[in-house]
Amino acid sequence: MSAATAAIADIPGVRHLGSGKVRELYEVDGKLLLVASDRISAYDYVLESPIPDKGKILTQLSLWWFGQLTDLVPNHLVTTDPAMFPVELRDHKDLLSGRSMLCERLSMIEIECVARGYLTGSGLSEYDERGTACGIALPPGLVDGSRLAEPIFTPAAKAAVGEHDENIDFAETVRRVGSDLANEIRELTIAIYRRAHEIAAGRGIILADTKFEFGQRADGTVVLADEVLTPDSSRFWPADLWEPGHPQPSYDKQYVRDWLTGPESGWDRKSGEFPPPLPEDVVERTRARYVEAYEKLTGSKFE
C-alpha cells in the first residue's frame, strides 16, 4: 500500500474496498470514492516511477467524456469537487483534489464491455488463430491495426488479480447476465464507442478500442461506471502514424516501452525481473503525452 493509499484508508469513516493496478476504491458515506494515482503500468508491471499528474489528467479526461455522453447513457458521477465531498474528507483535499470521483454505488454488471473498431491485441490473436474475435466472424486479410468495417462488441470476464481478463462470446455473456441485459450493454458499448471515436478522430487521435464497466441502480437502470475513455482503459493511437500491418505506437506509453525494451534500460522483458526506474526525461516526455492527449481531445488546457 502506497503512502497516499494508507493515508486515505486511515481517514475515519473511509473504508478501502479494493485496488486496481493504478487506482483505489473507497467507500464513504454510502458512496464510492475512486482515486487515480500517478502510477503507470507497462508490460504488466506497475513501474516504481510515477508520472506526475497522471491521475489528475486521467480523472479530468474521464469527467470530460462523461459530459460528452450524457445524451447516450447516465453515469455514476456525483462530483469531483472536493468542496462537495462528505465531511469526513474535508481535511484531505490535498490528497484527493483533481484525482478523485465521488460516485453513486451501483450493482456492477460483471462483464468487461469492450468495443473494438480496429484489430489488435487479444482480438488479433483470436483472429489469427480462428478468423474470429469473441466468436464474431471477421473478413479475411486483416492485419495488426486494420480498421473494422463496423465496431464490434468483444466482452471479457474479469479474471483474478494478476491474470488477464478472459474474452468470452456473446452467448456466454447472455448466460452470465441474461439476454435483455446482454443486449442493452452491447448496444450501449457500441453507441458510446462510435461517439467517442468520432470525437477523437476529429482531433487527430484514433480510439482503437476501449473498455467500459456498467452497473445498475436499484430500479434496474443501466449506468456507465468507472473511469471512461482514458489511455488506461483504451488504446489511443496518433492518427498521423496509423499504418496497418504492425503494432501501432501508443499515444501515451511509447516512450516508456521504447526505453524499457531498448539497450539503455538493461532490462530483459523475458527475465522475470522487475523493470528499472525510468529516467527523468522519459517521465517528463510521458507526462507531456498525457497532457497532450487531454488538451487535444478536450480543447482545454490542463491546469
Positions that interact with ligand Q0Z (CB under 6 A): 18-20, 23-25, 32, 34, 76, 103-106, 108, 215, 225-226
Q: How far is the CB of 138 from ligand Q0Z (least distance, A)?
A: 30
Q: What distance in Å separates the CA atoms of residue 74 and residue 221, rounded to the nearest whole number?
A: 9
Indicate left, alpha or beta for 5 from its phi (over 0: left) and psi (-120 to 50: alpha).
alpha
Name the residue nearer to ligand Q0Z (CB basis): 151 or 215. Answer: 215
Q: How far is the CB of 87 from ligand Q0Z (least distance, A)?
A: 21
Name the residue nearer to ligand Q0Z (CB basis): 155 or 215. Answer: 215
Name the residue nearer to ligand Q0Z (CB basis): 108 or 174. Answer: 108
Q: How far is the CB of 105 from ligand Q0Z (least distance, A)?
A: 5
Q: What distance in Å separates the CA atoms of residue 97 and residue 114, rounded to the nearest whole number?
A: 29
Name the residue nearer to ligand Q0Z (CB basis): 103 or 134. Answer: 103
- DSSP E strands: which ranges in the chain? 14-19, 23-28, 31-36, 41-42, 45-46, 77-79, 100-103, 107-108, 113-118, 132-133, 136-137, 147-153, 156-157, 166-167, 205-216, 222-225, 234-238
Alpha helices in 31-135 (DSSP H): 54-68, 93-96, 121-130
Separation of first and last alpha carbons in the chain: 28
Q: How far is the CB of 14 from ligand Q0Z (least distance, A)?
A: 14
Is the separation of the CB atoms in 241 and 92 below 8 Å? Answer: no
Name the residue nearer to ligand Q0Z (CB basis): 20 or 82. Answer: 20
Q: How far is the CB of 104 from ligand Q0Z (least distance, A)?
A: 6
